[in-house]
């Protein structure tokens, strides 16, 4: 495989955007990345998005974005793997360049969730689950994660309050990120008193329904722009059963583990080499499961890492360094691209007050569904 470089980035603030539509948000991020790279229009466009069809009544979102951005007569497509759509689109672009088919590509992750009434977006999100086995019975996406969290607490003996440090850390880091949705710090007290959404998941366990778009230009060559070149040294995508009920062990994300192991092998690295981990903290339970699956601690030990402060930006394994899904926000199909943009800023030393010290290797892990489609990337600063 040819080496591939990240040569441009863009991101819109994550928000509840009444002013901008899905295509305008995606367009803003795309144009920022094009301007940032300064190499003109790339050879193709890869868009990550989950709900354009159900929530925005628009198929052909990739084609629409090519049209909107002025990609005349160039290839474009949209990729959907639920919450990991953004990373899947990035991976498609990466493969197109690594194979030699393209020299440059634009990746956009975008989602517009707040146009829809609450129950409709809840139903749209539930399409990430197995329609006939889960969603048909009124199980929401939050509910699915609540089933996981309850089982995890039962198997390992953790209490709900033991998950508070994941959310507290995310909010503390987001306070310094101008693009984050929630920049307010939270306390253990506010965490435990937050209203229940789907027992045992409460409002402060959960990432917010949001709008946003992020974009990256990939290229077969680095560019000279005064910033450190960043390359992609691993890209691994793995699937598991779509429904939770068919997994061997519900509280073990086997596809996340396989995806991380494959990524480590591709890069010739181990967990101790990773300076920061942008994980998929859509719910606090996913933070624990992702840390465990990626080999940063043993199964059942995720909450301990958080309690001991090891996930802080200046500690052993910094996570959610710009707020994570919890506090930066989780515009579903955009999230994977936000993670990669933030990892890039960290590797270039441009992350601001939450800059990590060890910034040679960054890992991102983007989790689709309840752990059914997982994409892990490792980036390296050259």
Partner 1 sequence: MEVPRIWRLKKQRYALQGEVCPHCQVKIFPPRDVCPECGGEAKTPFSFSGQGEVYSYTLISNAPAGFEEQAPYTVAMVKLNEGPLVTAQLTDLGDEPVRIGMPVEMVTRKIRNDGDERGMIVYGYKFRPVMAK
Residues that are catalytic? 83, 330
- Is 273 a binder of partner 1 (CB under 8 A)? no
| Residue whose C-alpha is closest to residue 72's, from 103, 41, 98, 99 | 41
- Is 119 a binder of partner 1 (CB under 8 A)? yes
| Beta carbon of residue 196, minimum distance to partner 1 (angstroms, whole number) | 7
Rounded to whole angstroms, how far apart are CA atoms 2 and 29? 26
Contacting partner 1 (CB under 8 A), which of 44, 143, 212, 333? Answer: 143
- Is 331 a binder of partner 1 (CB under 8 A)? no
- Is 193 a binder of partner 1 (CB under 8 A)? no
Q: What angle do CA 198, 253, 339 make, to 5 degrees?
A: 80
CB-nearer residue toward partner 1: 43 or 134: 134
Rounded to whole angstroms, how far apart are CA atoms 81 and 329? 18
Contacting partner 1 (CB under 8 A), which of 19, 72, 73, 137? Answer: 137
Q: Cis peptide leading into 353, omega within 30 of 0?
A: no
- Is 177 a binder of partner 1 (CB under 8 A)? no
- Is 341 a binder of partner 1 (CB under 8 A)? no
CB-nearer residue toward partner 1: 50 or 146: 146
- Is 159 a binder of partner 1 (CB under 8 A)? no
Q: Which two tokens stand for residue 274?
A: 């990773």
- Is 258 a binder of partner 1 (CB under 8 A)? no
CB-nearer residue toward partner 1: 247 or 377: 247
- Is 157 a binder of partner 1 (CB under 8 A)? no
| Beta carbon of residue 313, minimum distance to partner 1 (angstroms, whole number) | 32
- Is 204 a binder of partner 1 (CB under 8 A)? no
CB-nearer residue toward partner 1: 192 or 225: 192
| Beta carbon of residue 79, minimum distance to partner 1 (angstroms, whole number) | 24
Stretch that binds partner 1, among 29-37, 65-73, 121-129, 185-193 (CB under 8 A): 121-129
Stretch that binds partner 1, among 96-104, 141-149, 274-282, 331-339 (CB under 8 A): 141-149
CB-nearer residue toward partner 1: 81 or 198: 198
- Is 372 a binder of partner 1 (CB under 8 A)? no
Rounded to whole angstroms, how far apart are CA atoms 216 and 219? 10
> Hey, which residues between 279 and 298 contact partner 1 (CB under 8 A)?
none
- Is 249 a binder of partner 1 (CB under 8 A)? no
Binding mask 14-53 for partner 1 (x = CB under 8 A): ----------------------------------------
Contacting partner 1 (CB under 8 A), which of 40, 118, 226, 353? Answer: 118
Rounded to whole angstroms, how far apart are CA atoms 370 and 21? 28
| Beta carbon of residue 88, minimum distance to partner 1 (angstroms, whole number) | 24
Q: What angle do CA 208, 276, 289 make, to 5 degrees?
A: 55
CB-nearer residue toward partner 1: 101 or 161: 161
Q: Which residues bind partner 1 (CB under 8 A)?
A: 117-120, 122-123, 125-126, 132-140, 142-143, 146-148, 150-151, 154, 196-201, 241, 243-246, 250
């Amino acid at each position: 495989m040819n080496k591939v470089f990240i040569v441009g980035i863009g991101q819109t603030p994550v928000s509840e955007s009444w002013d901008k539509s899905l295509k305008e948000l995606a367009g803003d991020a795309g144009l920022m990345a094009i301007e940032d790279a300064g190499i003109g229009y790339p050879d193709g466009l890869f868009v990550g998005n989950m709900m354009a069809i159900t929530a925005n009544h628009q198929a052909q979102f990739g084609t629409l974005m090519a049209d909107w951005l002025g990609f005349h007569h160039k290839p474009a497509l949209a990729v959907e793997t639920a919450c990991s759509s953004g990373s899947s689109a990035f991976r498609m672009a990466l493969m197109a360049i690594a194979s030699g088919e393209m020299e440059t590509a634009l990746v956009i992750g975008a989602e517009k969730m707040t146009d829809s009434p609450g129950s409709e977006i809840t139903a749209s999100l539930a399409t990430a689950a197995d329609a006939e086995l889960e969603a048909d019975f009124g199980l929401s996406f939050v509910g699915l994660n609540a089933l996981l969290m309850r089982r995890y607490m039962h198997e390992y003996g953790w209490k709900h309050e033991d998950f508070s440090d994941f959310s507290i850390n995310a909010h503390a880091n987001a306070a310094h990120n101008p693009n984050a949705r929630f920049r307010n710090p939270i306390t253990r007290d506010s965490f435990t008193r937050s209203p229940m959404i789907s027992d045992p998941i409460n409002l402060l366990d959960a990432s917010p329904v949001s709008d946003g778009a992020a974009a990256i230009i990939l290229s077969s060559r680095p560019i000279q722009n005064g910033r450190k070149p960043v390359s992609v040294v691993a890209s691994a995508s793995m699937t598991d059963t779509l429904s939770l009920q068919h997994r061997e062990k519900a509280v073990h994300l086997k596809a996340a583990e396989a995806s991380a192991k494959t990524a480590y092998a591709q890069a010739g690295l181990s967990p101790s080499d990773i300076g920061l981990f942008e994980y998929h903290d859509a719910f606090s339970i996913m933070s624990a499961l992702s840390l465990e699956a990626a080999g940063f601690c043993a199964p059942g030990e995720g909450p301990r890492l958080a309690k001991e402060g090891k996930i802080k930006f200046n500690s052993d394994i910094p996570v959610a360094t710009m707020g994570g899904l919890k506090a930066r926000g989780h515009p579903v199909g955009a999230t994977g691209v936000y993670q990669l943009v933030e990892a890039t800023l960290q590797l270039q030393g441009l992350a601001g007050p939450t800059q990590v010290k060890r910034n040679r290797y960054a890992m991102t892990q983007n989790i689709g569904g309840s752990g059914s489609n997982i994409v892990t990337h490792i980036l390296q600063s050259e």
